[in-house]
Amino acid sequence: MNGHAYTAQARRPAPRELRAAGALRVAALCALAAALVWVLAELVPAAQVRDAILLRHFTLLSGPHVDTAANALLNLLSPAPLACWGLALVLFALSRGLRRDALAVGLVVALAPVSADLLKPLLAHTHMRAGAVHIGAASWPSGHSTAALSLALCATLLAPPRWRVPVALAGAAFALAVGFALLVQAWHMPSDVLGGYLIAALWAALAVAGLRAADRRWPARASRRLTPRVRRRAPLSA
């Protein structure tokens, strides 16, 4: 009976392995999807036309009130406010004793937008005009959409379980609103915004994979303290 209890306990890390592997698969899918979006926007004329037409439709929604709200929303993701949002998330994680999560969130919020900015000149390509609107070549992926979804995903990661769904929905609405603002203001092509979302999801998935791997390699002290108790009670329950 002791042997059975020990075997069951020893196998418990398996689900964590699956979660880490699953997060890595999500990261790989995001990378492939981002590459596909860029290839379509760069090399496929029909996709370029659709990109320009869709941007034109969004710019027609522009107006005094819409532009004011869009600019206010985009200003929330300027470098200084973005650093404040990221610091707030890190401090929230630390207040809950989640030091690994705090490190992961800090890295995602910092590195995801930076990686987007580094990719822009490397992947620059010409865009078709959308009426009188013309987007510059170095625009893929959008740094603002990357930052917006990075914040949303990190907030969801840190949210307590009962708040996770509301936080995820609010974060998704925020990220979509930022994408809408970027298109109405003609700061980016739709493919740029989508690329930013995928870059953010890629970094978030890598962070989750890293956390799961770290949890398995270096279990939290609380888990180590509870393990002997579980092993002693297991034979009785069996």
**43 class by beta-carbon count within 10 Å (0-12 exposed, 13-18 middle, 19+ buried):** exposed
pLDDT in tens, 169-212: 999 999 999 999 999 999 999 999 999 999 999 999 999 999 99
Q: Where do the structural domains in the chain lie, given as residue ranges? A: 35-232
Is residue 9 within 8 Å of residue 227, measured between CB atoms?
Answer: yes
Task: Give the tens place of pLDDT for each residue, 62-76.
Answer: 999 999 999 999 999
What are the pLDDT digits (tens) for 23-51? 999 999 999 999 999 999 999 999 999 99
Identify the H or E element spanning 144: helix 143-158
Give the pLDDT confidence of 77-108 residue by residue, as tens digits.
999 999 999 999 999 999 999 999 999 999 99
Q: What pTM value is reported for the model?
A: 0.85
Alpha-carbon span 124 to 127, nearest angstrom: 10
